[in-house]
Amino acid sequence: MTLKAGAVAALVSLGVTALVLAGVRGHAIDSREERTGEAALHVIHLIRQDRLPMLLPGDGGRHLQVLDERGAVVAATPRVRDRPRIAAFLPAGERVYDRRVLCGAAGLDGCLQVTVFRVYRPEGDWIVYAAHPVVPWYVSAALAAFLIMLSLLVSLLAAMRTWRAVNATLAPVDAIRAELAEITATRSGRRVPVPETRDEIRLLAETANATLDRLDAALERQRRFTAEASHDLRSPITAARTQLEEALLHPGDTDWPRVGRSVLDSLERLQAIVTDLLELARLDAGVQPEARGRGAEEVDLAALVSAELERSPRGCKRVVPQLQYGVRVRGDRLRLARLLTNLLDNAERHAAEQITVTVRAEGDIAIMEVADDGEGIPVADRELVFQRFARLKAARDRDEDGTGLGLPIARQIAKSHQGTLTIEDSRKGARFVLRLPRRT
């Protein structure tokens, strides 16, 4: 961190140095151009008054040359008096002046900023060249050296101060690191020490403790989920084993077809639980449809509902579809069908006579509702039914073989499609509302 602070200070100092040099250089360029331009205008004034001397005054850095209509040098500053013309370019077209940078002009050292003026004379136009050395990027060696030394001093001071601050700051960080190193999945419940100072380290410690709180809660949910899953998996296995053991005790008196059907029922329940657990694992892991051999596509929710109702009738319960076609979403058709099936299965268990399926659009939101005319779900239990293996007493009484995973899977599918699945108020029964981003 000290090195980084020193590097940042050096970069900032170099940036400020560059800005200072640019400003000073700009001022120097303007000053030189102004003085050279004034000298050239004075020469032009003398030409027009026919008082032009052969030797023009110069300051050593500024050069002036006057050429007559034949191109002969008739006046110049001392250093270019006996030299060839400074430049060969002239103002283009009707222009009276032009400017260029030339290097090695008239045998002079370095590069010059050369300005040419056209002066009207009856016998022909005269040319005035005014030149001065180009200002280097560093302006002057003394100024550049001073700014570089100042930048180095600022960088050194910033690095030293950062080093002292880091040493004082990292002491509580080391204590936090040591505590975090001791925390494992089997030794959770510990928290990092919170320093008394009110600074970023205290915020870090408080954030770390809040994260550990969430991790402990997640671990507790995982342990509870594992226990509940183990219990639900063990129940059909135990039932099948008990029936087989009883049958084997009296093989001659056993109705083997009946035993086989009972064991098959237990295996089907076991298979349903395992299938739901695998689907939840895929959804929790964020497995995308492409990773499972399917691509996301545009799905018309009304067409999906119609196809599902036609494929799987709902027995003695009457299903009333209220569908608005053209409400499209983008997603995995099979997962969305699974979500709809889970909602319909749940509604069929609780409906008295009728299930209503609605598809409509609200702006850029696609909505699908599945409502039944049963007893409904109390407000306090509306989130409970989305917990895994959670089954209300009414659900257990109506269907002892349910897994308690249908609604959690439906909500996870909704989340994987950037949507929501909630239970909302209705005049009678339960109303499940799915909201997904609409494709327009």
413 has pLDDT over 60: yes
Structure tokens at 111: 């590069």
* Average pLDDT of the segment spanning 35-53: 90
Q: What's the confidence (pLDDT) of residue 227?
A: 67
102 has pLDDT over 80: yes
In this predicted model, which residue has the larger pLDDT, 233 or 423? 423
Which among 392, 387, 378, 430 is positioned nearest to 411, based on CA atoms?
387
399 has pLDDT over 70: no
Hey, how many other C-beta atoms are within 10 angstroms of the C-beta on 11?
12
Lowest-confidence segment of 44-48, 91-95, 225-229, 338-342 by average pLDDT: 225-229
56 has pLDDT over 50: yes
Query: How many alpha carbons lie under 13 Å from residue 182 in its C-beta half-sphere?
Result: 10
Residue 351 sits at φ, ψ, to 5 deg, of -70, 145
Q: Which residues lie closer than 8 Å to 437 by C-beta, 6 or more apart?
A: 329, 330, 364, 365, 366, 417, 418, 419
Q: What's the confidence (pLDDT) of residue 5?
A: 77
Decide the pairing of beta strands 126-133 and 431-437. Answer: unpaired
pLDDT tens sequence across 5-24 = 778 888 888 888 888 888 88
**DSSP symbol at 218:** H
* Average pLDDT of the segment spanning 186-200: 74
Report the largest interatomic distance among the alpha carbons of the chain, rounded to a whole angstrom: 144
Residue 319 sits at φ, ψ, to 5 deg, of -105, 125
Q: What's the confidence (pLDDT) of residue 238?
A: 82
367 has pLDDT over 50: yes
Helix (H, G, I), strand (E, B) or coil at 114: strand
* Average pLDDT of the segment spanning 226-230: 66
Helix (H, G, I), strand (E, B) or coil at 317: coil
Structure tokens at 201: 């380290």
Q: What's the confidence (pLDDT) of residue 75?
A: 92
* Average pLDDT of the segment spanning 202-212: 83
Lowest-confidence segment of 124-133, 146-155, 191-200 by average pLDDT: 191-200
Alpha carbons 333 and 436: distance in angstroms, whole number: 13
* Average pLDDT of the segment spanning 356-384: 91
Strands (E), 268-353: 297-300, 318-323, 328-331
53, 55, 242, 291, 410 from 63: Cα distances, Å: 15, 11, 115, 77, 87
Say if residues 173 and 192 touch (Cβ distance below 8 Å): no
- What share of the chain in percent tops pLDDT 70? 90
382 has pLDDT over 90: no
Helix (H, G, I), strand (E, B) or coil at 331: strand
Alpha carbons 267 and 272: distance in angstroms, whole number: 8
Which among 242, 28, 63, 55 is positioned nearest to 140, based on CA atoms?
28
Beta partners for residue 98, in sequence order: 116
322 has pLDDT over 80: yes
Mean pLDDT of the chain: 83
292 has pLDDT over 50: no
* Average pLDDT of the segment spanning 247-258: 85
In this predicted model, which residue has the larger pLDDT, 305 or 158? 305
368 has pLDDT over 90: yes
53, 282, 289, 295, 359 from 335: Cα distances, Å: 98, 11, 9, 12, 17
Q: What's the confidence (pLDDT) of residue 437?
A: 94
Highest mean pLDDT (candidates 175-179, 345-349, 396-400): 345-349
400 has pLDDT over 70: no
Q: What's the confidence (pLDDT) of residue 291?
A: 39
Which among 193, 197, 209, 206 is positioned nearest to 165, based on CA atoms?
197
Q: What's the confidence (pLDDT) of residue 435?
A: 95
* Average pLDDT of the segment spanning 189-213: 80
290 has pLDDT over 90: no
- What share of the chain in percent tops pLDDT 90? 21
